[in-house]
């Protein structure tokens, strides 16, 4: 299965949309990267370290799909809705493709 998930801040506002085929592994990766001061490139991790009281990142699934392409398209839809709407996500718009 392929999952689309959200990461929320302490006010339960969505700050990141992602996708994975293994929620447990991805949650561990986010937590390792977020609290590793050497990982400074991603806007999400900078935001969590510097501007929130988040102590542990939790993933909130918002969609389950049979194929990676379906998950990627739904992820992109959510990211683009934010980009053309309220712009609260702490991420860039990724390249659009079915790869």
Domains of the chain: total: 1
Alpha-carbon torsion 36, 40, 46, 50, what sign?
A: positive
Q: Cα 62–98–14 angle (5° rounding)?
A: 25
pTM: 0.89
Report yes or no on 92 lying in a domain. no
pLDDT at 14: 94
Please give the pLDDT value at position 21. 97
Q: For position 40, what pLDDT does the model report?
A: 66
Contact 60, 7 (CB under 8 A): yes
How does pLDDT run along the chain (99 residues), one tens digit per residue?
Answer: 999 999 999 899 999 999 999 999 999 999 888 878 777 677 888 888 888 888 889 999 999 999 999 999 999 999 999 999 989 999 888 777 766
Least Cα distance to 29 among 42, 47, 10 occurs for: 42
* Residue 38: domain span: 2-83
Position 38 in a domain: yes
d(CA 91, CA 18) in angstroms, rounded, equals: 10
């Amino acid at each position: 299965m392929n999952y689309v998930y959200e990461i929320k801040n302490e006010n339960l506002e969505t700050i990141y949309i992602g996708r994975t085929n293994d929620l447990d592994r991805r949650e561990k990766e986010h937590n390792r990267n977020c609290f590793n001061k050497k990982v400074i490139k991603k806007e999400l991790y900078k935001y969590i370290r510097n501007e929130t009281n988040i102590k542990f990142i939790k993933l909130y699934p918002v969609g389950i799909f049979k194929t990676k392409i379906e998950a990627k398209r739904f992820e992109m839809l959510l990211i683009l809705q934010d980009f053309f709407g309220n712009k609260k996500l702490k991420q860039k718009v990724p390249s659009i493709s079915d790869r």
